[in-house]
Amino acid sequence: MARPRTELPLSSRVLGMPVARFLREYWQKKPLLVRGAFPEFRDPISPDELAGLSCEEGVESRIVREKGGAHPWEVTWGPHPEERFGELPERGWTILVQELNRHLPEAALLLEPFSFIPNVRVDDVMVSYAAPGGSVGAHLDSYDVFLVQGMGKRRWQYHEKPTKDVRLVPDLDLRILARFVPEADEVLSAGDMLYLPPGFAHYGVAVTECLTYSVGFRAPSAGEMWKDFVARAASVPEATKLLVDPPLGAGKPPGEIPKAMLERVREAIRSMDTSNDAIDRWFASFATRLGPGRELTPPSRPLGEAKITSRLERGDVVMRSEEGRWAYLPSSRGALRLYVGGLELDVPAGAADLARLLSSARRFDGAELGRLARSRAARSFIVRLFDLGALRFGPRASGR
């Protein structure tokens, strides 16, 4: 993705306004269309490469056909056999691939312009290729999304106020709104961007064959958080202690729960650590994890400190793993707790600046990291991140 030379911060250029104004007037309030948000936009993937990716195991993908399938709005989940693409018609179908940022480093860089949003809110970069007329119907999302147009043109019809009529067409593979009357109607070309808050209905149809990148930000529900917190609290050794009966009295009705027993139950539940510190650390771990099966993978052969230091000094490119989000909490005396993919890592004060920098972007110049890793504590910490698979050396930046 080419970045125009200007004094404005990247986020402001993409949004077409200062970030503070966007957050105040648009974020989770109303849609925003930005023409030319990404000048000279270059797709990080081609339609043929996307089709090939959707044939691989471990890649979440689906093909949507409004007509011509076994039933209206048929969804076929991947991995797809290669011959399926030769059977598709010239019009009216879409292929979608989730988590493109995990599979393609260049796609992960699409998240960089939106770094004014906390890392723990990042969902993924989804990409869709649509043949002319291709669509997934009028629908609602439960997350904030920036729709970045790649090659081709796509027409977006959408609501400018939160959608009230959320009734769905029954018995479909997709959650398509039964009634949709657009309030805005725009055609996006390469480099244009449309922001939509959650709960705003939208309907995209390919005017020409096109690629669209959905940069999504999701917040967990209260139920998700409570369920995970309780599961974690129940896993500590203290939680395995059995409830001990209070002195029981003879002749009591068996259906009555003794008050003394209820008191002991309350004490047992309240004994769980629900301090602010415990909740904060749980949330940092919870919010940096991805879904099941998404975890850091250590390298089969660790590089070792000497080789890592040499490559940093040489200025090799360093890339973060996309198998988890990155965030941190302050600790005591200038130290930090860094969270990567659910792991909690203690960061000494001498490596705190390094941890902050690593949490701020996805691709780094090795020489810059090397300058921050001169102390013994910082060198040990960066080696540990490489050994965990949280960092790796990658190709030099392509200029996209």
Domain that holds residue 313: 305-393
**Is 80 exceeded by the pLDDT of residue 209?**
yes
For residues 161 and 42, membership in a common domain is answered with: yes
pLDDT-derived band at 239, boundaries 50, 70, 90: confident
Averaged pLDDT, 86-109: 96
Question: How remote is the C-alpha of 351 from its chain's centroid?
Answer: 26
Residue 326 lies in a domain: yes
Question: Is the same domain home to 191 and 71?
Answer: yes
136 and 40 in a common domain = yes
Give domain status of residue 237, yes or no.
Answer: yes
pLDDT value of position 260? 93
Establish if 253 belongs to a structural domain.
no
Q: Quick one: average pLDDT of 159-183?
A: 97
Cβ atoms of 320 and 358 within 8 Å: the answer is yes
Q: Are residues 188 and 107 in the same domain?
A: yes
**Confidence band of 2 (pLDDT split at 50, 70, 90):** very low
* pLDDT recorded at residue 7: 46
* Residue 152 forms part of a structural domain: yes
Helix (H) or strand (E) holding 366: helix 366-372
The per-residue pLDDT for range 21-68, each reduced to its tens digit, is 999 999 999 999 999 999 989 999 999 999 999 999 999 999 999 999
> How many domains, in total, are found in the chain?
3
Same domain (yes/no): 138, 210: yes
Percent of the chain with pLDDT over 90: 85
d(CA 302, CA 353): 24
Cα–Cα distance between 213 and 164 in angstroms, integer? 26
In a domain, 298, yes or no: no
Q: For residue 397, what pLDDT is reported?
A: 52
- CATH number of the domain within which 324 lies: 3.40.366.30
> Do 173 and 37 share a structural domain?
yes
pLDDT computed for residue 51 by the predictor: 97
Using pLDDT thresholds of 50, 70 and 90, give the confidence band for residue 291.
confident
Residues 147 and 225 in one domain: no
Question: What's the chain's length in residues?
Answer: 400
Same domain, 37 and 147: yes
Average pLDDT, the chain: 93
Confidence (pLDDT) at 5: 36
Give pLDDT, residue 125.
98
Residues 230 and 147 placed together within one structural domain of the fold: no
